[in-house]
Amino acid sequence: MIRLLIADDQPAAREGLRLLFRPVEDVEVVGAAANGRELVAMARRLHPDVALTDIRMPGMDGVAAARELSGLSPSPPTIMLTTFDTDEYLFGALQAGAVGFLLKESEPELYVEAVRAAASGQGAIDPRVTPRLVKRFARTSPRTPPPLAVELTYREREVLVLVARGRSNARIAGELGITHGTAKVHVARILAKLGVESRVQAAVYAYRHGLTTWADG
């Protein structure tokens, strides 16, 4: 059973998340916080497997909470909930170590997939978030030769480029003519080889090291 801790400053949003996960047999919502400070305090007490938090909250926001959570032992992986107008917050959340990013209007299935992925040590991101987030993050660092890319197979490089363009596993499978399961395995291997925790961090790697460009996508 995945122990999930949620945080949102809106009571209706918290209740909505509870209802979303209620029928999910392998996920239990163990607590609901109204801000980042409550989230961190509850995490210390409840030891959740995953934290799912709004990025914008009064007092301590989701980004600051993610930094605090990263210092706990054990440290629960953090998934951020955002809207289309929070680029600054997304950038900070990635730097704080968030492993997942979901739009608040994402499909319920994506929420469940993201929580399961985070609990298993993988990252998850709504494909609509990837281009904005990676473009901003990649601009902050000069391109350098890829020190680890030589360890990727040709197919893994193809998959990495598609991850960088925000493709889901299903779309990667369709574009490359492989199964969904094979695409998932390739992504997992890429993350392991690059030493990153999430798809968005892998995408940043691809742009930063010149494996793809914005003109390519």
- Domain CATH code at residue 146: 1.10.10.10
Q: Are residues 6 and 109 in the same domain?
A: yes
Q: For the domain that residue 78 is a member of, what is the CATH number?
A: 3.40.50.2300
Structural domain count of the chain: 2
- Is the residue at 83 inside a domain? yes
Report the alpha-carbon distance of residue 37 to residue 169 in Å, rounded: 35
Same domain? 165 vs 96: no
In a domain, 95, yes or no: yes
Q: What is the pLDDT at residue 139?
A: 63
pTM of the model: 0.76
Same domain, 174 and 76: no
- Note the pLDDT tens digit of each residue in 115-159: 998 898 777 777 777 777 666 666 665 555 555 555 889 999 999
Domain-ending residue, one of 80, 96, 126: 126
**Domain range enclosing 39:** 2-126
Whether 32 and 104 share a structural domain: yes
Starting at the edge strand found earlier in the chain, the sheet holding 78-82 runs 27-33, 2-7, 50-54, 78-82, 100-103, 124-125
The residues, ordered by sequence, that sit 6+ positions from 157 with a Cβ below 8 Å of its Cβ are 149, 211
Residues paired with residue 39 on neighbouring β-strands, in sequence order: none
Q: Looking at the domain assignment, is residue 132 inside a domain? A: no
The pLDDT tens digits for 158-194 are 999 998 887 878 889 999 999 989 998 999 999 888 8
- 102 and 153, same domain (yes or no): no
Q: Is position 59 within any domain?
A: yes
Same domain, 9 and 87: yes
- Give the C-alpha separation, 166 to 127, whole Å: 5
Closest CA to 38 of 13, 22, 59: 59
